[in-house]
Amino acid sequence: MTVWEAAAAATALLVRNGPNDDWHEVTPGERIKIHTSSEQTGGAFAMVEAIAEPGNGVPMHVHHNEDEHFIVLEGTFQVAIGDKRLDLSPGETITVARGVPHAWCNASKEPVRVLAVFSPGGIDALFREVAAARDLTAVEAIAKRYGTEIVGPPLPATSYSLASPRIQV
């Protein structure tokens, strides 16, 4: 079911999240919260919020099953789509089609906050599993199960990622 088919089939989808809803730490300095799960939308989409501290980012990767739409809420979001590099500000959006290599990082000195909408849904379960993994090999295996493939290193401005996490004291 596409997002548009789901919207046409329902008059409204209200999801109430309480103040204690879980934030998942993907790597120290990067947290995610699943605002709307695939289960809640019948698999049409999932919406995830990410907060990344300065220097955090993700390696170049490809989603084979879903498109990813980013909405920047706070900070400067540096994204690479193939060979192109962009700095996005609050209010700006970008969509990455499935099959397109991309990476992102927070190259600024302030936290960055973004919403990511994945269509169709299903990948939100990946984030829960990755948050529990502490080994890059395990992360790559989890990603592969969800149709995501790590195809390159993080962006040069990335100091901390799944491949080189912050050391927790």
In a domain, 96, yes or no: yes
Can you give the residue range of the structural domain that contains 61?
27-150
In a domain, 164, yes or no: no
In a domain, 165, yes or no: no
Identify the CATH number of the domain in which residue 56 sits: 2.60.120.10
In a domain, 53, yes or no: yes
Task: Tell me the one-letter amino acid at 111.
Answer: P
In a domain, 67, yes or no: yes
pLDDT of residue 11: 56
pLDDT tens per residue across span 131-158: 888 788 888 999 999 999 999 988 887 7
In a domain, 140, yes or no: yes
In a domain, 22, yes or no: no
pLDDT tens per residue across span 12-45: 565 655 444 688 888 778 999 999 999 999 999 9
Task: Specify the number of domains making up the chain.
Answer: 1
- 166, pLDDT greater than 60: no
pLDDT tens per residue across span 93-118: 999 999 999 999 998 999 999 999 99
In a domain, 144, yes or no: yes
pTM of the model: 0.83
